[in-house]
Amino acid sequence: MVRWEPGARERLQAAALELYVHQGYEQTTAAEIARAVGLTERTFFRHFADKREVLFHGQEEFRQVFVSGVVSAPAGGTPLELVAAALAAAATFFPDERRSYSRLRQQVIDAHPALQERELLKLAAVADAVGAALRDRGVAEPAATLAAESGLTVFRVAFVEWLADEGRSMLTVVREVLGELGTTTAGAAGALPPG
């Protein structure tokens, strides 16, 4: 008889998503999640800093994929080409098989402002890391921050479309949205004439 089953973290994550989906985030207590997998509330908080964090595993890896895209992009590119490389790398993080899981998770997040806050903070951390990677490759400010933030904007818009449209891959959607960004922001320099 084992004293504890392995993979406590993963089991807690799975149980949390399940409960959040079926009875709502606020209606679910940490103790309840722990009990569902045969652990105590105390153990839950040993693995996760708070009730939200349990939905945001794999975040460091996600950030790293973005950064690696910038790092391994060919030399001589514009800031936006570096960001495009980061987006292409990020797209590999979302193969079609992942769509239904992502959809479920996003449905929970969209229903609770507390979770939206956490997600925005995580994405902001990714943008910061991409900005730092761009500066490492010699991009000056404010171009580095603008390019990084624009990249995350493209990611967010593309992600919503990818979740909604069964037919297209994340990479395809990213490519399209990136193209739209260029069209949309063209001529920004002249958009606000001197008063």
Other beta carbons less than 10 A from residue 165's beta carbon:
12
Give the nearest distance from C-beta 112 to DNA in angstroms: 12
Cα torsion at 5, 7, 9, 12 (round to 10°)?
-60
Amino acid type, 137: R
* Distance (Å, whole) CA 94 – CA 97: 8
Annotate each residue in 41-80 with x if it binds DNA (CB under 7 A) or - if it does not, as one string: xxx-xxx-xxxx----------------------------
Residues 24-43 that bind DNA (CB under 7 A): 28-31, 34, 38-43
How far apart CA 143 and CA 150 sit, in angstroms, is 10
Q: Which of 18, 32, 81, 128 binds its own copies (CB under 8 A)?
A: 81
Q: Does 195 bind its own copies (CB under 8 A)?
A: yes
183 binds, options DNA, its own copies, none, Cβ within 5 to 8 A by partner type: its own copies
- Shortest CB 13 distance to DNA, Å: 13
Rounded Cα–Cα distance for residues 40 and 31 (Å):
6
- Both tokens of 189, joined, read 């320099």
Pick the closer one to its own copies by CB: 39 or 48.
Answer: 48
Shortest distance, position 186 Cβ to its own copies, whole Å: 7
Contact string 141-180 vs its own copies (x = CB under 8 A): -xx-xxx-xx--xx-xx---x---------x--xx-xxxx
The closest of 169, 35, 36, 147 to 94, measured between CA atoms, is 169
Identity of the residue, 2 or 49, whose beta carbon is nearer to its own copies in the bound complex: 49
The answer to whether 75 and 137 are in contact (CB under 8 A) is no
Closest CA to 47 of 60, 38, 34: 34
CA distance 147 to 163: 24
Footprint (CB under 8 A) of its own copies, residues 3-62: none
**Where does this chain bind DNA (CB under 7 A)?**
1-4, 8, 28-31, 34, 38-43, 45-47, 49-52
